[in-house]
Structure 1
Amino acid sequence: MTALLELRDVSRTYLAAQPVYALRTTSLAIDSGQYITIIGVSGSGKSTLLNILGLLDQPTSGSYHVCGVATERLDEVTRGAIRGQLFGFVFQAFHLLAGRSALENVELGMLYGGQRARIRRQLATEALLRVGLDNRLHSDPRTLSGGERQRVAIARAIATRPRVVFCDEPTGNLDSANTENILSLLQDLHRDGLTVVVVTHDPKVAGHGRHRLKVSDGEVTWC
């Protein structure tokens, strides 16, 4: 069976006076429906790994396959189309626009997807209901708690019904109670069939993954 995401001897090097080996030769496969956490200290290479998996960056060497397609052969338009259709992203910073409602913020994430306004509104509403914000649809993000803002960000990520959601330190700006709420939501989404990949420096957050990767000085190992 073809893996959903597969790295084959992938590395990422940033050229400078002293080359930075952000990701050393790595091979791994992620199957549909997995919940994977990637743990490592700051600067270890875990965000580089996430960016390559999410088609936000390209490897220096090796091959990255999405649904069996070798992405290094694709132009940027096609890579962007795959990214938009298959992936959703959640970051530590919520990246929500003040002065726009929660509903409008989720809709904005679909502007380049070609959906009609009516469909965008429907998908955004359904996503916000899914994350438990049915009473906050028309709230300005400035009036929301940190946990609620992250739920809006998750709603934006899942509104297009992606197959994979990539989360980069999604609980980094949250207190312990909101952290548990967000992790519980991600578990619920995973049980619904979504593939979830979470980058974190926190062992407690990493413990929520069914499978765990550790990145240290660009070296990736299962743990």
Structure 2
Amino acid sequence: MRQIARTYDDGQPVHALHPTDLHVAAGDHVSITGPSGSGKSTLLNLFGLLDAPSTGSYQVGGVDTVTCKPAMRTAIRGQVFGFVFQSFHLLPGRTALENVEIGLLYGPHRRRKRRQMATEALERMGLTHRMQADPRQLSGGEMQRVAIVRAVVARPQVLFCDEPTGNLDSANTQVVLAQLRQLNLDGLTVVVVTHDATVADTAGRRLQVADGVVREI
């Protein structure tokens, strides 16, 4: 990111994010902290191409996502990035395995290959015994772990997490953090927005946002 900024016009300009220079390298594990309304969600949305900046340039793998065609931005968002949110967004009435398969629906794989990839991904995360469970039968920690598997089953290069432990108790938080650490050790770039200092401390890099200004700790 070079001089990336986001301004909203609500009768008068509101600077959600002041001009910012940031570089995230492949394999980084980054946490973004700050109080509510500080701009950290704005930063995450810009990182994940869920929102467009008002000014500045943002390159992903050498592609300027501000000036490229919308189809290219969509392709990067779908193929390079994975997303995990505080709400698990698992579909009731579908098994954990079927929920993970949804993460592959828009890819090139046929149904048998999708089933194989989803099965192997759940096995790697120690969820073999929960594959056929409905989300309503899962604990909060298990639901978030399934949501993470769904986000990474298509093998994105970057995983963005927005308060991934916000709905979890301390024990399940540690399980999810261990899962994220292992994914990072396996080479996945991980960027986490969090209010939780314990979660932030597990990252190799920490960004703090206050009043739309980003600084690295």
Normalised to the residue count of structure 1, the TM-score between the two structures is: 0.95
Alignment correspondent of 1:34: 28
Q: How does 1:1-223 map to 2 (within 5 A)?
A: 7-223=1-217
**Which whole-Å deviations, capped at 9, do the CAs of 1:100-150 have from their partners, x for residues lacking one?**
000111111221223211221122112211221011111100000000000
Distance 2:53 2:150 in 1: 27
Structure 1 segments of 4 or more deviating over 3 A? none
Q: Distance in 2 between matches of 1:45 and 1:110?
A: 31
Deviation at 1:216, TM superposition (A): 0.5
Structure 1 residue runs of 5 or longer lacking an equivalent are 1-6
C-alpha displacement of 1:19: 2.1
Number of aligned residues: 217
| Partner SS, residue 110 of structure 1 | coil
Give TM-score scaled by structure 2 length: 0.97
CA RMSD, 1 decimal: 0.9
Structure 2: segments with no counterpart, 5+ residues? none
Q: Is the 8 A contact 1:55 1:79 kept in 2?
A: yes
Aligned-partner SS, 2:58? strand
Write the distance in 1 (CA, Å) between the matches of 2:131 and 2:76. Answer: 29
Question: C-alpha distance in 2, partners of 1:25/1:208?
Answer: 27
